[in-house]
Amino acid sequence: MIKQLNEKQKVLARIPSVDELLKSPEGCRWLSAFPRKVVIQAIRTALEAERVSLLAGQTADIVSEALTDSIDAWIKKLSSCSLVPLINATGIVLHTNLGRAALSEKALENIVKAGTGYSNLEYDLETGKRGKRHVHTKRLLRQITGAEDALIVNNNAAAVLLCLNTMAKGREVVVSRGELVEIGGSFRVPDVMTASSAVLREVGTTNKTHLHDYEHALHENTGLIMKVHQSNYQIKGFTSEVSIDELVMLGRKHDIPVMYDLGSGCLVDFKPYGIYTEPTVQEVIKSGVDLVSFSGDKLLGGPQGGIIVGKQKYIERIQKNPLARAVRVDKLAIAAFEATLMEYMDEECAKEAIPVLKMLFQPAEAIKKRSQKLAAALRKATEAADIRVVREMSKAGGGSLPEAEFETFAVQVRPGGISVNELEGRLRKGSPPVIARIREDALLLDARTVREQEIKDLVRRVAASLKAD
């Protein structure tokens, strides 16, 4: 026992010091290519791992090549970004965990322009005086939605919070029990209400709420009537909800403003594609509603942002709220929004140029072709799996269009040498990472969300990952 311990201590004592390693030929090579801080951190981390492994008896001695490899790997890790692009082979277009909407070419170009140098973000070029950042998107939003005024903040959660705090601080907000939604990541209507200092007044039941339920709840301390779009779920069966038109009429009768949290906020009509549950912002504005809020990076296909459109007098009040500053939108998002909204001036072009719309509306035949191309390239690159094209159904994702299913095509990869879980893990951990879903003993690569220019990388990653060790 004591002898063993002494042996271990002897080996531990042979672990080189950070200084020795820095002075070695490898150390000079590392220092010439990477920042000193990165190299030192990598050496320390690798040495610590070596120590732990020696103590645990997992390794018997120090192998200098192994140590060098480990330091190399740590340097690579520490000097590369943590946020990386990846290949989304899930078929889910608005995948919240994978960054929701991919941006259009023009939006990306505009981000680079606005971020590279200075801009007239809050500067009026006509008068030479201080301007407002909202002017850049206001005209387009008014034109597209038909609303009197518009404002963009950081995200839709912030938009709802800001509207509630402005319109109903210390007052009641009437909401149907069927609309007390939770959107992933802790956005819950009752909690947002509390955070905004408004008081939630629930009316009706989970499945049925009538106009008289709303009407009975109104009194002198009612600040707002709010409708919330059931973005990510549907209540089916014996149900009824009150339409926004009816609520607007009720609000007018009692002189109480009405707001609609629309969630996704789509600007093109989905009905021709068989989707009837998603009202457009334009339709909702026509009802005469006072305020509408929606996300910028869901079906609209822009950057993260919360858009508020509606009556000018309310938007002006919202802008003056000190909270508006705390949730203001940044210049890169404004640049992306302006370019994205510009695409909507021609709806047909928007469906081509905005990746979210393009991916959702692409004909199944086009997806089939792309999956056949992917399958053929995969068969050429590897023999370690059974590869075939299968017809599937996919969802929009991102808390939108919960009922809608889109016909899609996927490449089904059934590995021969390794398990499907092993394959999924290797694909996820490599570079670029590939995210795919498993069904039974096969991996599905849904071609809906795989872009043409990603096929080459995808084939390389799958072929390499299929190799048995």
Ligand X SMILES: *Cc1c(COP(=O)(O)O)cnc(C)c1O
Q: How far apart are CA 116 and CA 111, in angstroms?
A: 8
To ligand X, the closest distance from the beta carbon of 385 in angstroms equals: 37
Smallest distance, ligand X to C-beta of residue 466, A: 37
Give me the least distance between CB of 293 and ligand X, in Å please.
Answer: 8
| Cα atoms found within 13 Å of the Cα of residue 315, Cβ hemisphere only | 22
Q: Are 163 and 175 in contact (CB under 8 A)?
A: no
Of 66-74, 180-188, 217-225, 352-360, the window that binds ligand X (rule: CB under 6 A) is 180-188
* Residue corresponding to tokens 């893990």: 425
Q: Which is nearer to ligand X, 398 or 415 (CB)?
A: 398
The CA distance from 61 to 2, in Å, is 18
Residue from 145, 155, 166, 449 in contact with ligand X (CB under 6 A): 155
Minimum CB distance to ligand X, residue 270 (Å)? 15
Compute the radius of gyration of the chain from its Cα atoms: 28
Size of the site for ligand X (CB under 6 A): 16
Cβ proximity to ligand X: between 39 and 266 the closer is 266
Query: Distance (Å, rounded) from C-alpha 165 to C-alpha 231?
Result: 22
123 versus 187: smaller Cβ distance to ligand X: 187
Helices 36-55 and 64-78: crossing angle in degrees, nearest 10, is 130
What six digits make up the tokens of 230?
């059931």
Closest residue to ligand X in the complex (CB): 263
The SS3 of residue 118 is coil
To the nearest whole angstrom, how small is the minimum distance from the Cβ of residue 284 to ligand X? 13
Query: Which residues, 227 to 266, sit near ligand X by CB under 6 A?
Result: 228-229, 231, 261, 263-264
Q: Which is nearer to ligand X, 174 or 413 (CB)?
A: 174
Q: Cβ of residue 72: shortest distance to ligand X, in angstroms?
A: 40
Stretch that binds ligand X, among 226-234, 318-326, 434-442, 460-468 (CB under 6 A): 226-234
Nearest distance in Å: CB 208, ligand X: 20
Contacting residue, 156, 176, 340, 394, with ligand X by CB under 6 A: 156
Q: How many CB atoms lie within 10 A of CB 420?
A: 18
Q: Which of residues 303-332 bind ligand X (CB under 6 A)?
A: 306
Nearer CB in complex with ligand X: 295/340 = 295
Amino acid present at 124:
D
Is 166 a binding residue for ligand X by CB under 6 A? The answer is no
Local structure of residue 272 (DSSP, 8 states): G
Confirm or reject binding of residue 183 to ligand X (CB under 6 A).
yes
Q: How far is the CB of 280 from ligand X (least distance, A)?
A: 15
Q: Tokens standing for 47?
A: 């040495």
Q: Between 183 and 291, name the residue whose CB sits nearer to ligand X.
A: 183
Residues 369 and 284: their CA atoms lie apart, in Å, by 38
| Cα distance between residue 139 and residue 147, in whole Å | 10
Q: Pattern 108-147, binding to ligand X, x per CB under 6 A?
A: ----------------------------------------
Which residues, 6+ apart, have CB-to-CB distance to 8 below 8 Å? 54, 55
| Residue 399 touches ligand X, criterion: CB under 6 A | yes
Phi first, then psi, for residue 261 (nearest 5°) are -85, 105
| Locus of tokens 């929606």 | 294
Query: Which one of 49, 148, 171, 187 is in contact with ligand X (CB under 6 A)?
Result: 187
Total residue count of the chain as it appears in this document: 469
Cα distance between residue 465 and residue 427, in whole Å: 6
Residues forming contacts to ligand X in the complex (CB under 6 A) are 155-157, 160, 181, 183, 187, 228-229, 231, 261, 263-264, 295, 306, 399
